[in-house]
Amino acid sequence: MNNTMSDPRGLVKLQGLCPVHYRNHCFWSVVHSTYDTNMDEAKRICGENNGLPANVYNEQHLNDLMDDIRKKVSGSFVYIWTGMTVDVSTNAVRMRDLTAAAFVKWLNSGFPDRGESGLYIYVTTDASSSSQGMGNNPPAYKYHGVICEK
């Protein structure tokens, strides 16, 4: 049997869904032109390829993810869900497994927004813009898509 086909990560690579690699994980983004993806939908989208909404591990990883997302943007910006959360009582940022995040790049000084647990990335088509980064809002908000990790 072909080892690539029996390995789900290999299958994702074959399908062209793995443009970003970090820590032996595969990352891909699903970007829509409309605000149609809340966190439940984001989990479903990632699950279609046995993935989960993604963690962001460091600044270079964030930059690589944003570069990939930029290639798929039909307007001038998008909001994209991650798998990370903000603890509503402490404002601590958590990875998907609830461990403390080692890296966060807030969109601006207004973040984190107390009481909002979902973490997203705001990406503009202008890679040099300083108005890009992470923010938080309720998971029920609908955004342009999700970054997935496997």
Three-state DSSP class for residue 134: strand
Q: Which residue type sits at 44?
A: R
Could you tell me the residue range of the domain that residue 143 belongs to? 3-149
pLDDT of residue 15: 56
State how many domains the chain has. Answer: 1
Gap between the Cα atoms of 118 and 95, Å rounded? 11
Answer positive or negative: Cα dihedral of 119, 104, 83, 76: positive
The answer to whether 70 touches 127, Cβ cutoff 8 Å, is yes
Residue 95: how many other CB atoms lie within 10 Å? 18
| Exposure class string for 55-79: b at 16+ Cβ within 10 A, else e | bbbeeebbebbbebbbebbeeeebb
Q: How much of the chain is in helix, strand and coil states, percent to nearest 5?
A: 20, 30, 50
Gap between the Cα atoms of 81 and 83, Å rounded? 7
The answer to whether 10 touches 4, Cβ cutoff 8 Å, is yes
pLDDT of residue 93: 97
Among 83, 68, 79, which residue's Cα sits nearest to residue 16?
Answer: 68
Could you say which residues of the chain have pLDDT below 70?
1-16
pLDDT of residue 114: 85
- CATH code, domain carrying 93: 3.10.100.10
